[in-house]
Structure 1
Amino acid sequence: MKDIPYLFHYNQICVLSNGTETKLGSFKAGYEHYFEWLKTADEKENPNRNAIRENAISLEYLIAGLLKKESLVDYVESFILFDRQRTKLIAKNHQYLGVNNVFETFKNRENLNGKLGVFWHTQGSGKSYSMVMLARKIKHKISGNFTFLIVTDRDDLDKQIYKNFLRTEFITKEEKVQPANSMALREELKTNKTILFTLIHKFRYDKGKEYPILSERDDIIVIVDEAHRTQYKDLAENMRKGLPKAQFLAFTGTPLLGAKRLTNSWFGDYVSEYNFAESIKDSATVPLYYVNGMKEVQLQNDYLDTDLAEILENEELNEAEKQRLENHYAREMEIIKRDDRLDKIARHIVYHFPRRGFLGKGMVISVDKFTAVKMYDKVQHYWKEEIKNLNTQIASLRDEEKRKELKVIVDYMRKVEMAVIISEEDKEEEKFYKAGLTVKYHRERMNSVDENGFDIEDNFKNPEHPLQLVFVCSMWLTGFDAPSVSTLYLDKPMKGHTLMQTIARANRVYPGKTSGIVIGYLDVFKSLKRALLDYASDDSDDVPVKEVDKLYAQLLETIENTKDFCLAHNVDLSRVLDETEVFTNLSLFGEFADILVSQDEVRNEFRVYANTVNNLYEALRPDIFKMDFDAGYKEAILYLKGIIDGKIRPEKLESAKGKINQLLDVSVIAEETAQYDANTGTALVVTTTAPVDLSKLDMDELREHFRKVKYKNLEISNLREHIEKKLAQMMRKNVTRDKFSERFRSIIDEYNAGGAQNDQFYLKLLKYMEELKEEEARHIKEELTESELEIYDLLQKDKLTKDELNRVKLAARELYKTLLEKKEELFVVGWEKDDQPQEKVRKEIMTVLNNYLPESYDREVFSNKINLIFTHIVDQAVMGFNWVA
């Protein structure tokens, strides 16, 4: 297991290293948590501690050597997936614990009467991938000829789960694992296929006839996903009659609760629980905020019979439900669908959608198919009107800043595409025509595939595609995962598990997305609070979905807390604010930043406060524009954070001589940088530059500059950041440089512990940079390329003579040269996952090293070096760094 890198988060490391079953909290920002843990690890008990081969600065590159061997092997075998051979998916803490809980239960299945239990993990936490991990582990770790039967009650959910199993290579496209109808399913269940996917509806049978026994095998594992309406009725009874000895397991984010607790009575006890509140704390999902829509269109939920929400859960109503809807809820439906009300909602969507903080994708959820199409038409109409109105304003405005602001909105609106997503039914064109609507265009679009072979679902899931807003009523509300979705416009009566499943469309984690927003036009918050008590409780009174007025209060409170925190560290933000100007004394920001970066703990805590302020503010846009909000302190806090993060440089704003920044800047030929808006803290422009070149740094000049500089803590912070970037680059080029990471951390730890003053600390950092500079140039001294040097370092052993070192150097050169020359022959597509081409690579390594390594490399050492080099090359291929076709 030596020298193998894997991406883990802190809580995963804890679980894998000590085997605890405790559900750990979220990974906390900052390097200290990881490094403090590293220092306390017992080196004798963890002999692989020094086998760190990845970037120890990056929080995501952690150490295989510190983990329990059996836990790491288990993780590597069963909890790492590859989506379409490109994207690496690794289990999160709750997935690792949950799947292993089920696995242990499964080993005891003989005593459970077919009830394997309920896997209750909230929506957005990766349940479908957990299914894949569980199936893989059972298939590979337990002897037997198991059949997995994956059961859902919605076609879109069935397709999504099938795609996940296909893309992670549990199955291939050639395998026929989706029976076309009820008869085909019955025939397939008499075979011993590894896996089958079906809708519960395919267990229908002729009325009045007893459902036949299809198989009495006890090694059929039935995994049911979110099939709430169908798992406790006739179809489920048929399934259980047909498979009397099967093992049943429920995967759900919202089990049926209440007095009967039907989910538990049919499937058994919970084998793993991970609720909504826990997922937010772990950052597995983002927080959700609820905004009551326009007051003039609101219908109080108390007025709406909760049975109406239950009927509307199913888009395809049966005749009894249709009759009940017409007889009992005609008045309610008429009010909900009233034309003037829908007009107001459409206008609100048109105003709100392009003015949000994070411009993620959105979904408009209507009461039925006809209303979904009608809302599309209305929003399209008012969208065009809004663009005309904004262009008129732009032409008449003299304020250049305001013109730019409106032009950004118009440019965004011009790019946005919209679509209707509804299920197909017989004679739908005729039905929509009678309602004064057309569905043909929408149906053609839903069924079409673009020039790249992508359908409408692929396009909506692609964050870069202009399809930004969709109009739905039931489809895509469950079993649909598009992480960039951030906004839901909800105008449909809902309750309980259906409501929870719906709002979870906006809770997926996505870069730049700090929260999801639910805009409710039917005052469903009362229903939401009731649902959250069942499905999201963490045993506290704090509901993990906030109303917008409470969110606003939370923003104000956080700003006050941030001011108090700053004041406790002699940073008085009121000194930079004035009634007439935004900031009265820019020079104070440099002084404030210098104070806050003096200790890592203080800096990290301030960042948490500032990030919270920014996230809350972004979540409130555009509603906050209509509130009596004084943005002065918010701007000051984010401006100060920009200075601390190096995004804003006060010395440049004051025309001062920021020598260290100039000196460091000339050495940067390649890092990703961003220009930030000083008011919002959001990125405006991102550019890419080349690797940090230490040879261009003048150490004497830096020493002299530090002696004269005013804000020493800021200079130290800049230098530290610079070193961290360089160290990360150097460790990616040579996996043997972990000692440099440990040395850097020891310098930081000594400073944080108060063992060094600023001047001493700065000098130690400069000395360390000189060591890095020497290491970076070592390949030139050794007359090797960087890649050859890495192989040379991996091949070395103790007590080599000068002649032997030259032989090792020659071996490194020849091996690298051979691998390059035979790259097309050796490194075919997917070689790193296939035993046969892997063995070919290993033999080539063995041949070259056998020809060139000194005789002092005995059989054991020689074998170890072959394994080390081979493993290193495989790792690079797996990570996509090198040696790929």
Structure 2
Amino acid sequence: MAAYHQYYAVKKAVSNTKQAVAVEGDRKIGVIWHTQGSGKSFSMVFYTGALVKELNNPTIVVVTDRNDLDDQLFSTFAKSSDLLRQEPKQADVRKLTDPTKQAGQNGLFDLLNERESGGIIFTTIQKFSPLEGEMAALTERRNVIVIVDEAHRSQYGFDAKTDLETGVQKFGYAKYLRDALPNASFIGFTGTPIEFEDKSTPAVFGNYIDVYDMTQAVEDEATVKIFYENRIIRLDVDESEWAKIDKEFEDIIEGHEETAREKYKSQWSRLEAVVGSPNRLKMLAKDIVEHYETKSQSMAGKAMIVAMSRKIAVNLYDEIIAIRPEWHNDDVDKGVIKVVMTGAASDEENLQKHTGGKQRRDTLANRMKDPADELQLVIVRDMWLTGFDVPPMHTMYIDKPMKGHNLMQAITRVNRVFKDKPGGAIVDYIGIFESLKKALRQYTDKDRQTTGIDMNVAVALMEEKLEVLKGIFHKFNYSAYMGSSNKDRAMAIIGGMNFVLGLPLEEQKEFKQFAMELAKAHVLVSGTYEGKEAKAHVDYFKSVRATLQKLGTGDNKKRSKSEIEARVDQLLEKSIISQDVVDVFDTLNIERPDVSILSEQFLEEIRHLQHKNLAVEMLKKLLAGKLKVMERSNLVKSERYSEKLNRALNKYRNQSLTNVQVIEELIRLAYQIKKEDEQENSLGLSKDEVAFYTALTDNEKVKEMMADETLILIAQELTSKIRANVSVDWTVRKDAQAAMRRLVKRLLKEYGYPPFQQKIALETVLRQAELMSSNVSDWKSQQQIADPQGTYRD
């Protein structure tokens, strides 16, 4: 299903398309600028599906500039063939020859000319480069719509550039594409538009059709914010030499490294030698491992390392596994860290073991996308920096000069939404901040404020939330949590829970809210100095909140002392992150209660508990759990005791009762429930019969006027007849409800049930019967569905 921004963008795009393809149209449909992570690929699918319907099935040509992107986008379209009403095809070559025909390949020219309309054809932009001279037309049909993905790249060059040595003139792909398809209409999709004098995405494709920027995507929770952290490592070169290198790599053409290496060979080599120096890589590996492991304690997730060259990528891998040898595995299906890169037969042996074909890359891609897979870190040079979505990825470590749209596309790998991920982090080891600021000039004003946010902002936010929580706890000393005793730390959490539960209800809510906000803020800065310094305090507040949230009965298994100690040790070794909670019953060595029994031993332990506020909360939760179970079978009884429970708790909240008094009140209530349970068991009735007996005897006067034996008989017969006659749908059928009323009325009269109470009893019995019908599957074999007329048997 399309999101709102996709729906409106497609509607506007179809309208623009109709204008552009008209006889007087300019064939410029426009540009859809939707930020990365907002579902751009599916927007193209929806747009294509709409064109097939609205424009009498034109031929759609989808153009990308890389084979891996072509495969990814083709896969998305292939899965949507029902919507598109046809199967897409990929062009393998520009034009088939006899050998390629025999190989079963598709030719772009052939796919275009074997039809008068229809067809969805995928191709790469490189197939539009002329072998020599001018680019010949592949088709002159007008009913061709060209969709260009990543329209900000490879789509310029209407003006010729002359090689000063040879005098040969060359144009860009924008001209060659339009020479090949002279009457086609063009639309561009991009997440990173370009608007310079010599390169302008709107100038090539037409005006913006729809803009969905990063800020809007964050507000819609379609993506998360991106934070910037500076951890630059500079080594083995003095400042004056580094200044020269800084100037030189500004001139390197990022994104076309092979061309850049030829044109700027000396500059690139000098920078690569510094960045890849052994001492620097040792420091880099150590810092990445420490940063990633620290962050993983606060939030599970994956990370990508971007290296400057394939050689540096492999050398960095070796340094990392020297620190963490257990992360390495030669098997492509195993291992915590992998290098993802292309290779050649001429590569050195140490590089070749990290390269492989499409099957290897696909295996690693699937592993990286799987949150449960042990693959957590990948090192890349160019692979996976565009069009590769891994929602669990929360950090990108950049050690490669990048700028412009390539930089923007790369960093948005970490902005995908995943569970409670509060944001993505860009960790800069080489100095991309100025390039990031320049790249953002092409974005909306709002995006400049919400992308690449300095990590200091996140640190300040974390410290602000921490100060608020320390203020709330200023009357409670939790310093024992900072000590080395596991028992003292666990008891500090219990004490903190007791303190929070003694606060007014509104302040309790504030504590939980601020603790949650602190946890999210700390995840972003956990690798910083400030994040490490605050970690113990953050862990404490997270643990108090999490244990309050999970406070309940758990299972009924009583653990041994050694099991309790083992659990606490394991818990504290993990620093008690937000998913872990202290087991209150184990820590206080209290018998774990069975809510169906609530033993005297447990109630006495609660009565003498030192932490009175916690005792109130435990009793409240346990009684509420007991009543929840009761509600499933006995409506009257659960309502009666729920009212008593709420009345006692309201007095406590209004300070009419102290915590000691309300504990006594709740214990009395527990004993009342226990006593009534025992009385019901002595009646010799089934659970359903007890429920109807309770409904009939809710008024004490009825018990005074009627013999208990008679009431038991009514309850048994009510259960029998209602079971025999109730249907799953009787509560929504008026005729069936009327028949049920007649049945109950007749039965009450037969047994001489007091007339003054019959109306109330009737309504109560019917409510209990409605509850019974919701459990109809429990006794399905005994049930008989009412006939269509709603007649029930007596």
* TM-score bucket (shorter structure): 0.5 to 0.7
Name the counterpart of 2:729.
792
Q: Distance in 1 between matches of 2:50 and 2:688?
A: 48
SS at match of 2:90: coil
Say whether the 8 Å CA contact 1:301–1:526 is kept in structure 2. Answer: no
Q: Distance in 1 between matches of 2:500 and 2:414?
A: 36
Say whether the 8 Å CA contact 1:365–1:472 is kept in structure 2. Answer: yes
The Cα of 1:702 is off from its aligned counterpart by 13
Name the counterpart of 2:703.
none
Equivalences for residues 179-190 of structure 1 within 5 A? 179-183=91-95, 184-190=107-113
2:458 matched to 1:551?
yes
Per-residue CA distance 1:393-412 (angstroms, 9 max, x = gap): xxxxxxxxxxxxxxx999xx
Name the counterpart of 2:194.
256
Equivalences for residues 351-750 of structure 1 within 5 A? 351-357=290-296, 358-384=299-325, 416-424=335-343, 428-430=344-346, 432-433=347-348, 437-444=349-356, 446-448=357-359, 455-511=363-419, 513-535=421-443, 537-538=445-446, 542-564=449-471, 566=472, 572=474, 575-577=477-479, 589-595=496-502, 598-599=505-506, 603-624=508-529, 629=533, 631=535, 633-646=537-550, 661-662=552-553, 679-684=575-580, 696=596, 710=613, 714=617, 718=621
Say whether the 8 Å CA contact 1:346–1:378 is kept in structure 2. Answer: yes
Change (3 A) 1:694 1:550: same
The Cα of 1:590 is off from its aligned counterpart by 3.6
Compare relative contact order (CA 8 Å, sep 6+) and give the higher one, 1 or 2: 1
The Cα of 1:473 is off from its aligned counterpart by 0.9
2:41 matched to 1:128?
yes
The Cα of 1:520 is off from its aligned counterpart by 1.7
Change (3 A) 1:305 1:359: farther
The Cα of 1:458 is off from its aligned counterpart by 1.8
Name the counterpart of 1:304.
246
Q: Distance in 2 between matches of 1:805 and 1:508?
A: 60
Change (3 A) 1:116 1:716: farther
Per-residue CA distance 1:504-559 (angstroms, 9 max, x = gap): 222222235443332222111222233345437427x7443344444333322221
The one-letter amino acid of 1:256's match is I
SS at match of 1:463: coil
Change (3 A) 1:161 1:311: same
The one-letter amino acid of 1:419's match is K
Name the counterpart of 2:57.
145
Which consecutive unaligned segments of at least 5 residues does structure 1 have? 1-78, 80-90, 388-407, 648-660, 668-672, 688-692, 731-739, 821-850, 858-885
Say whether the 8 Å CA contact 2:91–2:123 is kept in structure 1. Answer: yes
The Cα of 1:217 is off from its aligned counterpart by 3.0
Change (3 A) 1:553 1:774: farther
2:181 matched to 1:243?
yes
Name the counterpart of 2:74.
162
SS at match of 1:420: strand
The Cα of 1:617 is off from its aligned counterpart by 2.5
Change (3 A) 1:243 1:307: farther
Q: Distance in 1 between matches of 2:85 and 2:424?
A: 35
Per-residue CA distance 1:186-214 (angstroms, 9 max, x = gap): 22223334422221112223321243151
Name the counterpart of 2:89.
177
Say whether the 8 Å CA contact 2:49–2:83 is kept in structure 1. Answer: no
RMSD: 5.6
Name the counterpart of 1:833.
none
Q: Distance in 2 between matches of 1:724 and 1:228?
A: 62
Say whether the 8 Å CA contact 1:275–1:537 is kept in structure 2. Answer: no
The one-letter amino acid of 2:474's match is D
Q: Distance in 2 between matches of 1:115 and 1:353?
A: 47
The Cα of 1:230 is off from its aligned counterpart by 0.8
Say whether the 8 Å CA contact 1:593–1:714 is kept in structure 2. Answer: no
Name the counterpart of 1:119.
32
Q: Distance in 1 between matches of 2:145 and 2:722?
A: 54
The Cα of 1:479 is off from its aligned counterpart by 0.4
Q: Distance in 1 between matches of 2:498 and 2:582?
A: 28
The one-letter amino acid of 1:422's match is M
The Cα of 1:255 is off from its aligned counterpart by 0.8
SS at match of 2:324: helix
Pick from 220, 229, 232: which aligns with 1:282? 220
SS at match of 2:89: coil
Per-residue CA distance 1:140-193 (angstroms, 9 max, x = gap): 5x3621333322111121211222223345489994611111221122223334
The Cα of 1:498 is off from its aligned counterpart by 1.0
Say whether the 8 Å CA contact 2:395–2:425 is kept in structure 1. Answer: yes
The Cα of 1:460 is off from its aligned counterpart by 2.4
SS at match of 2:14: helix
TM-score for both structures, normalised by structure 2: 0.65
The one-letter amino acid of 2:541's match is I
Name the counterpart of 1:349.
288
Q: Which has the larger radius of gyration?
A: 2
Say whether the 8 Å CA contact 2:305–2:377 is kept in structure 1. Answer: yes
Change (3 A) 1:423 1:702: same
Say whether the 8 Å CA contact 1:529–1:543 is kept in structure 2. Answer: no
Q: Distance in 2 between matches of 1:720 and 1:120?
A: 56
Which consecutive unaligned segments of at least 5 residues does structure 2 have? 96-106, 158-171, 558-566, 584-592, 633-638, 671-675, 677-686, 693-715, 744-769
Name the counterpart of 2:272.
333
Say whether the 8 Å CA contact 1:182–1:204 is kept in structure 2. Answer: no
Change (3 A) 1:701 1:331: closer
Per-residue CA distance 1:321-370 (angstroms, 9 max, x = gap): 44312155443333233343333323333444444333422222112233
The Cα of 1:501 is off from its aligned counterpart by 1.1
Q: Distance in 2 between matches of 1:573 and 1:537?
A: 45
Say whether the 8 Å CA contact 1:287–1:544 is kept in structure 2. Answer: yes
Percent identity (aligned): 26
Q: Distance in 2 between matches of 1:314 and 1:334?
A: 19
The Cα of 1:296 is off from its aligned counterpart by 3.5
Name the counterpart of 2:134.
209
Q: Distance in 1 between matches of 2:467 and 2:413?
A: 33
The one-letter amino acid of 1:681's match is I
The one-letter amino acid of 1:123's match is Q
Q: Distance in 1 between matches of 2:350 and 2:530?
A: 37
The Cα of 1:226 is off from its aligned counterpart by 1.4
The one-letter amino acid of 1:554's match is L
Per-residue CA distance 1:248-291 (angstroms, 9 max, x = gap): 33222211134567112222333332322333343322333333
Name the counterpart of 2:683.
none
2:152 matched to 1:228?
yes
The Cα of 1:476 is off from its aligned counterpart by 0.7
Change (3 A) 1:111 1:139: closer
Pick from 196, 202, 208: which aligns with 2:121? 196
Say whether the 8 Å CA contact 1:147–1:193 is kept in structure 2. Answer: yes
Q: Distance in 1 between matches of 2:719 and 2:15?
A: 57
The Cα of 1:481 is off from its aligned counterpart by 1.0
